[in-house]
Copies of this chain bind each other. A is one copy, B any other.
């Protein structure tokens, strides 16, 4: 067992019950307070710990880290140090925050490096180089395929043989809390002769998780599937906002473009693979057997509970979806091995999202398209209104957490409020 994951550990910082951030989590993020440059931090209970201040006080001196690595607007330089170093920092944070350890006790310095989360702004944690979106939930692909091509042809012939994916837009990936403007664009109304231009009428979320690449590869290099997890620094929540009407008109034959590129919302915290280790489980059985370069031994999925809620302007939120990362057919290791099998190079900060994570039951579908079955089954909201898709003023809130042995490892939120088109 990784020492920092020990369920018996307790922090001298108060961690409320059901907090996403006990001492066993210690995710990484980037924050800003007024007047100061962005810097790296971890989360503990309702606080963040400023890694730059800890570094200045010598807590990482024996780890051989470059000084400037914590005073950065992104995690990239930190991640690029490699897993040995980043793991050592997480382990040291565990010691610093542990209420049972004297050697690294920093509680007397709390006022210098602890801030209430409510008092800081969390920024986009990663400077994203390339962003790739996969399509790895069999249930989601089957649901969408059934709607658009009928039950018999729901899955395309390639789907069970490779993790289908496509390149997405990196510039418009935004941190939780950033409002999302309803996009304008071309749509082809049913039975119309020509397309029209206007605000998307079918604005949707997609419940996804993403992983962040922490180690680069050379152009021409293939990452063996058995080593792929070494290249993954950690995971985030990912809302792949989608304008279904724009997407439908534009996407043949080259794939989604403006129907997706207006915004993607991520959680501010990157939870390390180390912290998720206790929740490792096997994914679905794969039949047909994948080609050798995609074949893995062992467990490569994670038991991460996921939820989506919609909160109308001024109203109370309603949970509309409850899903789980474990439903994904293709693992992250398979996605990464596939991505590099042609020699495509990875860079630190690249982000790869899972595709919509839908489960087997209707309440586990990860998009309004599926939940309302193309608008034919509207959802009832607490205020008496209904939702086929997302309304202006709605805030979409994604959450994710693992739970076991009394320890909850959470991701915080990926939320975004929809503003009217302009």
Interface string of A154-189 (1 = CB under 8 A from B): 001110011011111111101000000101111010
Looking at A45-53, A251-259, A300-308, A393-401, the stretch in contact with chain B turns out to be A251-259
The answer to whether A252 touches B158 (Cβ under 8 A) is: yes
Nearest Cβ on chain B to A90's Cβ, whole angstroms:
27
In the complex, A129 has a CB within 8 A of chain B: yes
Interface string of A123-164 (1 = CB under 8 A from B): 000000110000100000000000000000000111001101
In the complex, A387 has a CB within 8 A of chain B: no
In the complex, A422 has a CB within 8 A of chain B: yes
CA distance A168 to B257 in the complex (A): 11
CA distance A54 to B313 in the complex (A): 58
List CB contacts (< 8 Å) of A330-352 with chain B: 338-339, 341-347, 350
In the complex, A195 has a CB within 8 A of chain B: yes
Interface string of A190-219 (1 = CB under 8 A from B): 000011110000000000000000000001
Interface string of A242-271 (1 = CB under 8 A from B): 010010011111111111011100000000
Nearest Cβ on chain B to A213's Cβ, whole angstroms:
10
CA distance A246 to B344 in the complex (A): 13
Chain B residues with CB under 8 Å of A375's CB are: none
Chain B residues with CB under 8 Å of A129's CB are: 170-171
Chain B residues with CB under 8 Å of A292's CB are: 197
Chain B residues with CB under 8 Å of A338's CB are: 258
The answer to whether A243 touches B169 (Cβ under 8 A) is: no
Nearest Cβ on chain B to A91's Cβ, whole angstroms:
31
CA distance A358 to B327 in the complex (A): 45
Q: Which residue from B171, B255, B339 sits with its C-beta under 8 Å from A253?
A: B255
Nearest Cβ on chain B to A142's Cβ, whole angstroms:
13
Q: Which residue from B164, B255, B342 sits with its C-beta under 8 Å from A166?
A: B255
Number of interface residues of A (CB under 8 A): 62
Given the contacts A194-B288, A219-B174, A343 and B254 also touching, CB distance less than 8 Å: no
The answer to whether A254 touches B165 (Cβ under 8 A) is: yes
Chain B residues with CB under 8 Å of A293's CB are: 197
In the complex, A222 has a CB within 8 A of chain B: yes
Nearest Cβ on chain B to A134's Cβ, whole angstroms:
9
With CB as the reference atom, state the residue of chain B lying closest to A134: B254
Given the contacts A135-B254, A171-B345, A219-B263, A249 and B422 also touching, CB distance less than 8 Å: no
Given the contacts A171-B130, A172-B219, A261-B342, A166 and B254 also touching, CB distance less than 8 Å: yes
Interface string of A210-248 (1 = CB under 8 A from B): 000000000110100000000000000000000100100
In the complex, A291 has a CB within 8 A of chain B: yes
With CB as the reference atom, state the residue of chain B lying closest to A156: B252
Interface string of A98-135 (1 = CB under 8 A from B): 00000000000000000000000000000001100001
CA distance A130 to B188 in the complex (A): 27
With CB as the reference atom, state the residue of chain B lying closest to A145: B253
Given the contacts A342-B246, A343-B262, A162 and B186 also touching, CB distance less than 8 Å: yes
The answer to whether A195 touches B161 (Cβ under 8 A) is: yes
Q: Which residue from B219, B254, B263 sits with its C-beta under 8 Å from A256?
A: B254
Given the contacts A158-B188, A195-B158, A252-B158, A165 and B341 also touching, CB distance less than 8 Å: no
Given the contacts A255-B253, A262-B342, A166 and B169 also touching, CB distance less than 8 Å: no
The answer to whether B130 touches A169 (Cβ under 8 A) is: yes
Chain B residues with CB under 8 Å of A219's CB are: 171-172, 174, 181, 262-263
List CB contacts (< 8 Å) of A13-54 with chain B: none
Given the contacts A156-B252, A166-B166, A167-B167, A184 and B343 also touching, CB distance less than 8 Å: yes
Q: What 8 pairs across the A-B complex have the smallest Cβ distances?
A: A255-B255, A183-B342, A167-B167, A166-B254, A261-B344, A258-B342, A181-B220, A254-B255
> Can you pick out 19 interface pairs between chain A and chain B where the beta carbons lie within 8 Å of each other?
A130-B170, A156-B253, A158-B252, A161-B186, A165-B257, A172-B345, A183-B343, A184-B343, A186-B291, A197-B293, A219-B262, A251-B253, A251-B255, A252-B253, A258-B344, A259-B342, A261-B344, A262-B343, A263-B343
